[in-house]
Amino acid sequence: MTDVHEFCSALPGAVLTFPFGEETAVYRVGGKIFALTGVDRATSINLKAEPADVTGLVDTYDSITRGYHMNKKHWVTVQLDGSLPEGLLEELIEDSYDLIVDKLPARDKP
């Protein structure tokens, strides 16, 4: 399973912040959040997704639910229990990142 902290940090322009306290890692690009997870024990990660994808992911995978403490239409919570197919977690993180980058003004894009 991918280390979510290493993966998120390696994305171009990604910045780690702690606006909700030192226990919650918040990854941003262009000042906008694309991922939230625990610092020491990352048991889940919140990721942005297209609304149609949110429904499909929630209906397909037991370890994916609508975003915890987030807009349930645009965010999912992924349990990091190793149950997702190989590569899907990385794809979901990249998709979340891309959703943010695509909406950034040109001057803020990495």
Task: Label residue 71 by pLDDT band (50, 70, 90).
Answer: confident
Q: For 12, list phi and psi in degrees, rounded to 5.
A: -55, 125
- CA distances (Å), 58 to each of 21, 63, 99, in order? 28, 8, 19
Greatest distance between any 2 Cα atoms in the chain:
39
Q: For 64-81, what is the mean pLDDT?
A: 89
Is this model's pTM higher than 0.75 or not?
yes
- CA distances (Å), 25 to each of 36, 45, 52, 107, in order? 6, 10, 26, 25
What are the structural domains, with CATH classification, of the chain? 4-104 (3.90.1150.30)
Residue 56: both structure tokens together: 């499909």
